[in-house]
Chain A
């Protein structure tokens, strides 16, 4: 049943977001701390457990891969609902601060990547068609 996979995905997200809220309250901030990241870890762990494996294979598995495949369309919709006008209305200060923060962060990617344990290899297979 496809819905079993969707239900598993949904349970992971809800539990992860709940733990993220608790973590936020614990350290005293009004924000969800890593809820989505915790949910992703949960999903990876659960899919590797023998009892849950039937939920990650066959038809239930397609329930999860469907939402994974809907990722880019959802991101396109997300882009279309951004407050682009406000970003441009912020004027020179906002644009300068945003641009400088991005440039500095981009520049640090190769520096911090060197902290990884083993030399990283590019993903092998060529870019997927879609």
Chain B
């Protein structure tokens, strides 16, 4: 047993490949057997991943889900930003440049609209919960933009750490909901072509959420959605602590 553990711990990443493979195989089996393929196997696999992340968080009390368990640390490497970005870029191989041009304007508009709408919604909720300090309101609303914009804004404005934690939590809820909710609503919002995928990526903006949401809906849409989503967090970090904060300070 000790020998096995030693092998697994020193080959974390390779072991992760096997584990993820088994998880995906099991998810497709569930999909075929219980839903007749109606709920996509990758959607089930992503949800299973989130459940495992929750279990890992409860067991270890860390912030990296199941990857905080030592033998499973390879999942953390495989699912980290480096491999995620590498694979996202690879999906662009075979993307149609004409589609990108066609959605150009809509793609740019969607990024600005997405930041603005999520921010405003965040402000409304923060005020509804009784916050009246512009710094706290802006920080919480920044979390509704993404879980990176939240703490970046909070740090820039000098928000309390409990407010920053709230903003991160709001961003995580958003990201997880985009992962799991996208396949369910795709049909109703016309998410079945490259152009609407670019708009979707720009509006949602959470790279992880968009990456998983499109994977579970139709993997061929991934490059288009990911392309616009990657501009969102950077622009959010620019706009929220500056222009949008000034607007909030003028109001409260």
For chain A, what secondary structure do more than half of its interface residues adopt (helix, strand, loop), or is it mixed?
helix
Given A71-B90, A79-B49, A97-B144, A84–B196 Cβ distance below 8 Å? no
Residues of chain A from 58 to 92 with CB closer than 8 A to chain B in the complex = 61, 64-68, 70-92
Contact with B along A4-39 (1 / 0, CB 8 A): 000001101100110010011001111111111101
User: With an 8 A cutoff between CB atoms, is B138 at the interface?
Assistant: no
Cα A70 to Cα B89 in complex, Å, equals: 12
User: With an 8 A cutoff between CB atoms, is A51 at the interface?
Assistant: no
B95 touches A71 (CB 8 A): no
User: With an 8 A cutoff between CB atoms, is B158 at the interface?
Assistant: no
Residues of chain B from 87 to 124 with CB closer than 8 A to chain A in the complex = 87-95, 97, 100, 102-106, 109-110, 113-114, 117-118, 121-122, 124
Cα A39 to Cα B170 in complex, Å, equals: 29
User: With an 8 A cutoff between CB atoms, is B78 at the interface?
Assistant: yes
A74 touches B83 (CB 8 A): yes
B93 touches A112 (CB 8 A): no
B218 touches A123 (CB 8 A): yes
Contact residues in B for A2 (Cβ distance below 8 Å): none
A37 touches B118 (CB 8 A): no
Cα A61 to Cα B93 in complex, Å, equals: 9
Contact residues in A for B185 (Cβ distance below 8 Å): 106
Cα A64 to Cα B93 in complex, Å, equals: 7
B193 touches A101 (CB 8 A): no
Given A12-B89, A109-B199, A120-B196, A84–B54 Cβ distance below 8 Å? yes
Contact residues in B for A1 (Cβ distance below 8 Å): none
Shortest Cβ distance from A41 into chain B, in angstroms?
8
Which residue in chain B gives the minimum CB-CB distance to A93? Answer: B129
Cα A32 to Cα B81 in complex, Å, equals: 12
B65 touches A76 (CB 8 A): no
Chain B interface (Cβ < 8 Å from any Cβ of A): 16-17, 20-21, 23-24, 40, 42, 45-50, 52-54, 56-58, 63-67, 75-76, 78-80, 83-95, 97, 100, 102-106, 109-110, 113-114, 117-118, 121-122, 124-126, 128-129, 140-141, 143-145, 148, 152, 165-166, 168-179, 181, 185, 189-196, 199-200, 202-205, 207-208, 211-212, 215, 218-223, 226-228, 230-231, 233-235, 237-238
Other A-B pairs beyond A33-B231, A36-B89, 6, CB < 8 Å: A65-B94, A67-B86, A80-B56, A80-B75, A98-B173, A102-B177
